[in-house]
């Protein structure tokens, strides 16, 4: 009986330690790692790696400038009330919409190799890098 009580006590203590030490903020568990009213994009599978967060609903940002070391968009959570788009270019003159990051949507792996690399831009709502940067 004492062994059972000791085991239950040890399991309860382990559970308390896990609850008191949540996963690091940079590692999203499911889609819960991205705050409300925020767009989060990661360069790793399963919401890991370098992260970019945006609370704007009408702007554009160059991925490489927003987070030096960020390679390409691999996973995302869009908690904004608007869609966001990953735009790409080969020469900074003609941009094309490559992927939609749907409002309320998420993906642990977008499945597009090198999305946004090396000159990608993320824009929310109706912003367009063809008019935003030029």
How do the domains of the chain map onto residue ranges? 28-132
pLDDT attached to residue 69: 86
Pick the CATH number of 28-132 from 3.30.590.10, 3.40.50.1820, 2.60.20.10, 3.30.70.360: 2.60.20.10
Query: DSSP string of 4-23?
Result: HHHHHHHHHHHHHHHHHSPP
- Nearest CA among 7, 8, 44 for reference residue 26: 44
pLDDT attached to residue 18: 24
- Decide the pairing of beta strands 60-62 and 96-101: unpaired
Could you say which residues of the chain have pLDDT below 70? 1-32, 92, 133-134
pLDDT attached to residue 85: 96
pLDDT attached to residue 36: 95
Round to whole Å and give the CA distance between 134 and 99: 21
pLDDT attached to residue 31: 64
Q: List Cβ neighbours of 31 (8 Å cut-off, separation of 6 or more).
A: 47, 77, 106
Has this prediction a pTM greater than 0.85?
no
């Amino acid at each position: 009986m004492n062994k059972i009580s000791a085991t239950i006590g040890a399991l309860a203590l382990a559970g308390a330690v896990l609850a008191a030490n949540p996963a690091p903020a940079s590692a999203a568990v499911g889609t819960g790692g991205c705050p409300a009213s925020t767009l989060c994009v990661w360069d790793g599978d399963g919401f890991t790696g370098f992260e970019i967060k945006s609370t704007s609903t009408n702007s554009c940002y160059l991925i490489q400038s927003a987070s030096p070391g960020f390679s390409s968009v691999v996973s995302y959570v869009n908690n904004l009330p608007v869609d966001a788009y990953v735009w790409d270019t080969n020469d900074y003159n003609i941009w094309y919409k490559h992927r939609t990051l749907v409002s309320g949507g998420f993906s642990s792996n977008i499945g597009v190799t090198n999305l946004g690399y090396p000159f990608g831009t993320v824009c929310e709502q109706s912003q367009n890098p063809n008019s935003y940067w030029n």
